């Protein structure tokens, strides 16, 4: 990913755009056929330094680039950039680079999702407690949690695919986009050669709502990774300890406390997601430019394009490695599930009472009354329910026991896995 954003790659892409445009113009008879003899240049760091040196005088990056090309190629280079404006090169080149970056991001999403699916299948039937508001709610499985992450990564992939399509658009319509010196046909021919679509209506630039969509898709993918990382951070807390980041031999958790094993990878991912959201906001700020264009977006994109794509690429690969190495503690998950002495089965009891004829509000009161006693007394929920006269009038011992059947609570796990994995296989 980082290699996409080197000066050498940038100038390579600019020349690719210039040559595609020149060949389309030659086909239309606008420039001499000799432009076809111009061969691509493999730009070196020395070439990039020379362009930078020229720009110190020109104070214009594209003119510096074209001056360098004339130095290198000679007379045929005078036909490059005919009827074009700088944004024709810059915006079209940026589209190519962002498109190629999107392909790497998509590969990273696939890698992360595959890691999550592997661990989800491994722990498909590993019971753990589900939490709402941070409080024990009802049983689930660790695999069920993970398969939800896999589904979310599928949505991230689809958003990124749409963003790739939206950004794969260039322009060759000249100053203010009126084709005063070229034609839509030349533009379409050049864009087809570059694997892009022509912007249907451009001004002097490709419209920046496209870029805002792209960077928003990056930020949303980062937000999902942060969501997963926050869950891992909570599960690694000492009083929870259901899962834990890999901790290598010789690794140290604290300069002061030798016992510490901290969720530093996940915390790092949380921080980077915040940076991505900032880049998305910056891209949104670029949408309302003055009239047919200004260049307030240019400085922003020089920062956020490489930084956002490299950041998310790093996050995806780090997350995949984190999931592959994640330590999972099923025994501790079961201990925590049983921590509230059966309270997590309160809803099955409530529903069974209603099913047997008790009014809902009355059933709620009797179940809650016994649940509150569990918090205060050293007794199990099942024990207290079995001693309650109102419960005894409605439920026999076997019916009450059935309300505490963990496997019954988790009986639909196969169906949910099939939904996620079958949908992905068919996409």
How far apart CA 65 and CA 1 sit, in angstroms, is 24
Q: 5: buried, middle or exposed (CB in 10 Å: 19+, 13-18, 0-12)?
A: middle
Residues 6+ apart with CB under 8 A from 48: 6, 7, 8, 11
How far apart CA 252 and CA 298 sit, in angstroms, is 43
First to last CA, the chain: 26
How far apart CA 147 and CA 424 sit, in angstroms, is 12
Q: Given 37, 132, 133, 427, which residue is catalytic?
A: 133
Check if 255 is active-site: no
Other CB atoms within 10 A of residue 27 CB = 15
Check if 133 is active-site: yes
Q: Given 60, 254, 296, 412, which residue is catalytic?
A: 254
Sign of CA pseudo-dihedral 38, 53, 3, 164: negative
Task: Output phi, psi for 245, to 5 deg.
Answer: -60, 150
Residues 6+ apart with CB under 8 A from 224: 149, 152, 153, 156
How many Cα atoms occupy the beta-carbon half-sphere of 164 within 13 Å?
17
Catalytic residue list: 133, 254
């Amino acid at each position: 990913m980082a290699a996409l954003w080197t000066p050498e790659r940038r100038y390579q892409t600019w020349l690719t755009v210039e040559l595609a445009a020149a060949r389309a113009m030659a086909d239309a008879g606008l420039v001499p056929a000799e432009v076809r003899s111009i061969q691509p240049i493999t730009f070196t760091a020395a070439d990039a330094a020379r362009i930078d040196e020229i720009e110190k005088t020109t104070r214009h990056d594209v003119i510096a680039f074209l001056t360098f090309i004339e130095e290198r190629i000679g007379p045929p280079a005078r036909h490059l950039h005919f009827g074009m404006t700088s944004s024709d090169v810059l915006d079209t080149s940026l589209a190519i680079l962002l498109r190629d970056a999107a392909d790497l991001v998509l590969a990273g999403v696939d890698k992360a999702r595959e890691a999550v699916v592997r661990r989800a299948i491994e722990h498909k039937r590993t019971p753990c407690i589900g939490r709402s508001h941070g409080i024990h709610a009802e049983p689930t499985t660790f695999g069920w949690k993970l398969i939800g992450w896999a589904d979310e990564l599928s949505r991230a992939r689809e958003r990124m695919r749409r963003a790739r399509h939206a950004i794969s658009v260039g322009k060759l319509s000249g100053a203010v986009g009126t084709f005063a010196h070229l034609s839509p046909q030349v533009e379409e021919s050049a864009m087809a050669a570059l694997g892009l679509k022509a912007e249907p209506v451009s001004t002097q630039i490709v419209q920046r709502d496209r870029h805002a969509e792209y960077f928003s898709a990056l930020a949303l993918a980062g937000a999902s990774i942060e969501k997963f990382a926050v869950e891992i951070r909570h599960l690694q807390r000492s009083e929870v300890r259901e899962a834990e980041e890999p901790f290598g031999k010789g690794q140290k958790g604290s300069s002061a406390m030798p016992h510490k094993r901290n969720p530093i990878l996940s915390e790092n991912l949380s921080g980077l997601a915040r940076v991505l959201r900032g880049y998305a906001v910056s891209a949104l700020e670029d949408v309302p430019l003055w009239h047919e264009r200004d260049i307030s977006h240019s400085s922003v994109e020089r920062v956020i394009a490489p930084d956002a794509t490299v950041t998310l690429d790093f996050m995806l690969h780090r997350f995949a490695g984190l999931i592959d190495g994640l330590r999972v503690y099923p025994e501790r998950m079961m201990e925590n599930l049983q921590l509230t002495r059966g309270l997590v089965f309160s809803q099955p009891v409530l529903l069974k009472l209603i099913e047997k004829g008790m009014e809902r509000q009355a059933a709620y009161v009797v179940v809650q009354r016994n649940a509150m006693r569990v918090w205060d007394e050293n007794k199990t929920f099942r024990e207290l329910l079995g001693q309650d006269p109102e419960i005894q009038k409605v439920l026999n011992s076997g019916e009450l026991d059935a309300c505490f059947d963990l496997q019954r609570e988790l009986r639909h796990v196969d169906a949910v896995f099939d939904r996620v994995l079958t949908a992905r296989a068919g996409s």
